[in-house]
Structure formats: C-alpha cells, structure tokens
Copies of this chain bind each other. A is one copy, B any other.
C-alpha cells in the first residue's frame, strides 16, 4: 500500500512523535511505501483564506468551497495545498497521528483538513460517504491523550470517544468516502513510565501489523437516502456511539 502519514505535534521528543516513527518503521518493514507530512516541521499554514487561490471564480466574494472546486479544476490553487492533496489522492491509506486537543485534532491539522480536503477532488454536491471520490481508500486515526480509558464509554464521564470524534471519523473521513478503520488511542500519555511507554509502542506496532484486517467503523450509505438526501426508511442512521 501507499501510505500517507500526517503528523502534528509541537514536541519532537513526544510519545506521539515516537508513534509516528514506529509507524513509518513498521509499515516500511511490511513492504508499504510511506510518505510523511509533518505539519509542525513543514510549518504548514492552517488558515483557510483568499490567498489560497491564484485566481478567483468570484474575486469580490469568497465562498471557500466553490473557490476550492474552481482552483483545483484550473490548477490555480496554492502550491502547498495542491502538494498535500496530491499526496492524499495517490495514497491507499491515510493515517492521522496527533495528540487530542479538545477532543479533536490540533489546529494545525484542522487547517490541513480545511485547506486540503478539496471540494471537487475529494467529494462534491451529493458525492459524499459511499458516493464520494475517495471510496476505496482507508483512513486510520492514531492519537494520544491525557485522559484515562475509564473516562470513556456509555456510562463514562465523557461518553464514547468515537462519539466525541464523530466530526472527524464520520463527518470528515467517512464523508469523503474513506473506509474508516478502528482508531488506535494511547491513554494517560503525559504520565507514562518508560516501561509503559514501550509497552504502548509495542502494542501500536502490533496493531499496525493487522492493518489489512482491522475492523471498519459503520458509516451511512446513500442507498438509504433520496436525491436530496432525505431518509428513505425510518431506520436510525448507523451513527457512532
């Protein structure tokens, strides 16, 4: 497989960065081709704005998604965006590796999504979920957090972690057609001993060893919706918990 690993952590010696290195090593040993976008290292600009387009469909009024579509079609989109978008399009597996900040990705990675997940190239109009452009590709979220595992679950204080991340797992990755693999979370990370840290890294390497057979999260199918996306049946959407 061609793998794009997108990584964002402000501390090069962090456990999260060690996970990135472990993933590169494990996947290359297994024969996969790995490209890394290290957003802090690249000083990636996360702010979507008018300068993202060399020429505009409407220079007087910015509708970002419409300019994305236009810029991608005409090759006038900013070079850093085009480069990252090509990397996604060329890959079979996208890994997002990050520390959970406020139950989501750090801003620099949110900006990578805002700017790179191009309307027109990744999805469009009613081409979403299983009709989107990226169907056939896989995506894996691998993240670190300070919280402990018992803080997540139906009766737990924060509820299910996949529910907290539904905007990312379903609303972003699933939306663009990715088959979203069961995420890998390392808990309580700032408080780990060296031995525990090593154990988590070993577990992570083993997890990646099963990359071809990891279970997928449930996602909506447009088969269940009409041409303006109204539900055809009364069954609840297969949402994440």
Contact = CB atoms under 8 A, between A and B. Distances in A.
A107 B102 contact: no
A46 to B, nearest CB: 4
A170 B48 CA distance: 26
A62 interface: yes
Contacts of A230: 150
Contacts of A165: 167
Interface string A199-241: 0000000000000000000001010110011110111110100
A79 B225 CA distance: 50
A11 interface: yes
A239 B152 CA distance: 12
Contact-residue bracket for chain A: 35 or more
Nearest to A44: B47
A236 B153 CA distance: 9
Interface string A137-177: 00000000010101100111111100111111011100100
Contacts of A237: 154-159
Interface stretch (A30-38, A111-119, A178-186): A111-119
A148 B228 CA distance: 9
A163 B239 contact: yes
A13 interface: yes
B157 A166 contact: no
A172 to B, nearest CB: 5
Given A102-B172, A155-B236, A156-B231, A49 B10 contact: yes
Contact of A158 (B14, B171, B235): B171
B110 A159 contact: no
A72 interface: no
Contacts of A114: 101-102, 106-107
Given A48-B101, A164-B171, A236 B154 contact: yes
Given A46-B46, A107-B108, A61 B11 contact: yes
21 contacts: A10-B50, A40-B47, A46-B108, A64-B101, A101-B114, A102-B114, A102-B168, A103-B166, A104-B110, A107-B108, A107-B110, A108-B111, A111-B111, A158-B237, A159-B220, A159-B239, A160-B239, A164-B166, A164-B171, A166-B166, A167-B167
